[in-house]
Amino acid sequence: MTAPETHRSIAPSRLDRTLRVFTQVRAGEGAPALLLIASVFLILCAYYVLKTVREGLILTGGMAGLRGDELKVYAAGLMALLLLAVIPAYGALADRVGRLRLLNVSYAVVLGCLGGFYALGQAGAPIGLAFFVWLGIVSVFLVAQFWSYANDVFDAEQGKRLFAVVAIGGAAGAIAGPRIAGLAGTYPLLVVAGGLLAAALALLNVVDRLQAGRRPALPAPAEPIGGPGGFALVLRDRYLLCIAGAALVANLVNTTGEFVLSSYAADLARDVEGEAERREVIKAFYADFFFWVNLASFLVQSFLVSRIIGRIGIRGALYVLPALALGAYALVAMVGGLGLVRVAKTAENATDYSLQNTVRQSLFLPTARAVKYKAKAAVDTFFVRFGDMLSAILVGVALHSFGASGRQLALVNVGLIAVWLLLVAGIARRHAALDPAAPALALPATSPAPVISVAAGARS
């Protein structure tokens, strides 16, 4: 019996019908979708609690003659270097354990580290740089791992319909996180975030048991992921290379824009006396900024994403964020000013966290299981953080060799976005070969692209 026939054999529940406000939900899909919504809500809520803490710690704690806003950009290079070791280690673990053990071990390590940072912070140790680097690695890993898991427990047809509604949970969590951050001091928030992540892990374990009963063909929880390593998978296939390249350039653009915003945020606290007081001013600025970004993201995710993808398809939706960023940075380069920079970053980040995020996760639906876990982890962590590292180099050279202003850095971003658009065109062409049934805008005729077999994980 096929999956669609199974859905039609039972009546839709009230939950199934309720979720149809956002996208097409078939009978029996509401419960696992809701649990995943709740899980990603808790993950993103915890991340934004920690991200708000991170900004105060890093921006008030310079090092080696570098200001905090510069230091946080340069720290991205250290993340990329560490990921060269972390990704192979993660792949080796995935070769030996199933998806549930992979989740449980990963979260146990994260929760242990949070306990360590809490103890060090309470003891007065300077943890700003170490915490910034750690969170930069952990945050992308946990989010990438969640979507790898969602790709595994939903089939490709379900993912196309349900990812938009599942992502609403992340958008809502991103709104709640900064508000929770305002309820406690810097270090107690580490404990709060740990509790949120533990609850998310519990829900993911429930989802696995629920889906195992509904989908007999689902790989067993203890079945190792297997396959080549993440870097090997990316480097041998043009589709994955284009995705990795686009992720790198997109993050290079975004992080360079974040530096422009951070420099303004640091200026807000420049005349405030006392490190703790400056930290709280910056924390309040970012809490407010994150709130408005994430509110916009939530509204777009809830009411526009599934409609946009339904109208122009996954491949057409790939072009939305780079086109928006092109216009935003062109305006910043011409006009400048804190107000415009904040509006531009709000629009860019809100689109990135909603539409772009859903499209990015959907690109892995027609791929093999090893690609979903290993190649996706490599793309969403190393290539993203390598983009951060290139931004650190770009910002360092621009500031210290040319004395560039924020407006000039925005102009550099305009040129980078042109490269991003070329990579998006390559992704769209190759996605058409992988999933020709998915609706898309008309594309120029091209030769067939290498296809990653869903069954075997090899190129045909």
Highest mean pLDDT out of 269-273, 279-283, 333-337: 333-337
Give the tens place of pLDDT for each residue, 192-249.
999 999 999 999 999 888 776 666 556 666 677 777 888 899 999 999 999 999 999 9
Query: Tell me, what's the pLDDT at 443?
Result: 30
In terms of DSSP H, where are the helices of 154-237? 156-181, 188-214, 230-235
CA distance 351 to 345: 10
Give the tens place of pLDDT for each residue, 429-441.
999 888 766 543 3
User: In the structure, what pLDDT confidence band is assigned to residue 307 with cuts at 50, 70 and 90?
Assistant: confident
- Here the tokens at position 394 are 């770009």
User: In the structure, what pLDDT confidence band is assigned to residue 158 with cuts at 50, 70 and 90?
Assistant: confident
Least confident of 9-18, 32-41, 198-207: 9-18
Average pLDDT of the segment spanning 358-363: 90
DSSP string, 28-67: T-HHHHHHHHHHHHHHHHHHHHHHHHHHHHHHT--BTTB-
Q: Is residue 303 over pLDDT 70?
A: yes
Average pLDDT of the segment spanning 292-306: 87
3-state SS class at 446: coil
Query: Tell me, what's the pLDDT at 447?
Result: 33
User: In the structure, what pLDDT confidence band is assigned to residue 286 with cuts at 50, 70 and 90?
Assistant: confident
Domains of the chain listed by start with CATH number: 25-434 (1.20.1250.20)
Give the tens place of pLDDT for each residue, 252-269.
999 899 887 877 777 776
Q: Is residue 369 over pLDDT 50?
A: yes
Mean pLDDT value across the chain = 81
CA distance 64 to 79: 18
Average pLDDT of the segment spanning 164-186: 83
Please list, residue by residue across 94-124, b when 16 or more beta carbons sit within 10 angstroms of its beta carbon and e when fewer do: beebbbbebbeebbeebbebbeebbeebeee
Question: For the CA atoms of the chain, what is the radius of gyration?
Answer: 21
Give the tens place of pLDDT for each residue, 391-417.
878 988 998 888 888 788 989 999 999
Query: Tell me, what's the pLDDT at 261?
Result: 83
CA distance 354 to 184: 28
pTM of the model: 0.74
Q: Which long-range contacts (CB under 8 A, 24 or more apart) does 237-240 make?
A: 237/450, 237/452, 237/459, 238/426, 238/430, 238/449, 238/450, 239/427, 239/430, 239/431, 239/434, 239/449, 239/450, 239/451, 239/452, 240/371, 240/375, 240/379, 240/452
Share above pLDDT 90 across residues of the chain, in percent, rounded to a whole number: 29
Average pLDDT of the segment spanning 73-85: 77
User: In the structure, what pLDDT confidence band is assigned to residue 6 with cuts at 50, 70 and 90?
Assistant: very low
Query: Tell me, what's the pLDDT at 458?
Result: 33
Which one has a higher pLDDT value, 198 or 92? 198
